């Protein structure tokens, strides 16, 4: 997806071929897929922001006491290196910290340096300069404008579930769908089974976040393109089904409901460090 400021301009959606990513590492098939999408979609941007899934990453949510701002970065990195089971020299870190009465609530992500560097090179080979990378679940939450509740994005071959609480991701998981994209009922059944299993797991691992039938479930992706998508979701999911809106200007016929992660990438994030070294910015950007 491409945007010029707050105006969404171009979009394309392609299924990655088998072997485009192997354990998070790109192959030439990924470069070919990106190049083909750029050429077919009429894109004009030369800078890109990229969302990655959980493969090759680690996440920590922890607290720090009140510190001077000059001490915060060093304290976060010390604690991150202590908690993340990766050699510090082998990863890129990104983090944000929210100040409250008791100190700082810190969210830290670490991604394999080898994987990130390879993804940057693969996208560059397709003709785009990577401006920054972000985690897909966090980009989804920003794009949907959700601070509290469940998010479920349904794609042609995979789906992503995110639990947000007070603006912070408490759980997220991307999972593949076995049923073919043209078998809508079978994919909906898969979504229901996977959602129920993941909610059971979340209730055990994040017991301080209550999940009930009153919890909002924000839907993205294919739900919006079925004539009765929300109704089908309500029949299968025991939550308060909600369809997000967009804060962008959208041309007629633009399928923005399929691009919430892209919308979240275009919006500014609050990372103190990035998963890529670039700190540049541009109002015309592809995501």
What CATH number labels 146-243? 3.30.420.40
pLDDT class of 154 with cuts at 50, 70, 90: very high
Between residues 73 and 268, which one has the greater pLDDT? Answer: 73
The reported pLDDT for the residue numbered 204 is 86
Query: Is residue 284 pLDDT above 80, yes or no?
Result: no
Q: Where in the chain is the domain with CATH 3.30.420.40?
A: 146-243
The reported pLDDT for the residue numbered 283 is 34
Query: Is residue 88 pLDDT above 80, yes or no?
Result: no
Give tens-digit pLDDT for 169-213.
889 999 999 999 999 999 999 999 999 999 999 998 877 889 999
Please state, rounded to an integer, the average pLDDT across all residues of the chain: 89
The reported pLDDT for the residue numbered 274 is 54
Q: Where in the chain is the domain with CATH 3.30.1490.300?
A: 57-112
CATH level 2 (architecture), domain 57-112: 2-Layer Sandwich (3.30)
Q: How far apart are CA 139 and CA 103, in angstroms?
A: 26
44-81 burial code (b ≥16 CB/10 A, e <16): ebebbbbbbbbebbbbbeeebeebeeeebeebbbebbe
């Amino acid at each position: 997806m491409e945007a010029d400021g707050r105006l969404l301009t171009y979009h394309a959606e392609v299924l990655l071929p088998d072997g485009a990513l192997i354990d998070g590492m790109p192959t030439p098939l990924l470069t070919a897929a990106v190049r083909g999408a750029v050429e077919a979609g009429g894109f004009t941007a030369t800078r890109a922001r990229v969302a990655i899934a959980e493969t090759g990453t680690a996440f920590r949510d922890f607290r720090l006491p009140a510190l001077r701002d000059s001490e915060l970065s060093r304290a976060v990195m010390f604690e991150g290196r202590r908690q993340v089971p990766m050699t510090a020299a082998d990863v890129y870190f990104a983090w944000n910290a929210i100040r409250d009465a008791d100190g700082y609530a810190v969210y830290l992500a670490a991604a394999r340096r080898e994987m990130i560097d390879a993804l940057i090179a693969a996208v560059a080979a397709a003709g785009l300069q990577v401006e920054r990378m972000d985690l897909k679940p966090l980009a989804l939450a920003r794009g949907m404008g959700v601070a509290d509740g469940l998010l479920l994005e349904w794609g042609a071959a995979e789906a992503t579930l995110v639990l947000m609480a007070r603006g912070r991701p408490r759980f997220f998981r991307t999972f593949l769908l076995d049923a073919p994209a043209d078998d809508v009922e079978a994919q909906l059944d898969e979504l229901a089974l996977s959602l129920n299993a993941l909610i059971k797991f979340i209730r055990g691992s994040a017991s301080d976040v209550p999940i009930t039938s009153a919890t909002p479930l924000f839907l993205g992706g294919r739900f919006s393109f079925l004539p009765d998508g929300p109704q089908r979701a309500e029949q299968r999911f025991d939550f308060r089904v909600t369809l997000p809106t967009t804060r962008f200007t959208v041309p007629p016929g633009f399928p923005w409901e399929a691009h919430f992660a892209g919308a979240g990438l275009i919006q500014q994030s609050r990372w103190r460090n990035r998963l890529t070294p670039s700190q540049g910015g541009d109002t015309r950007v592809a995501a």
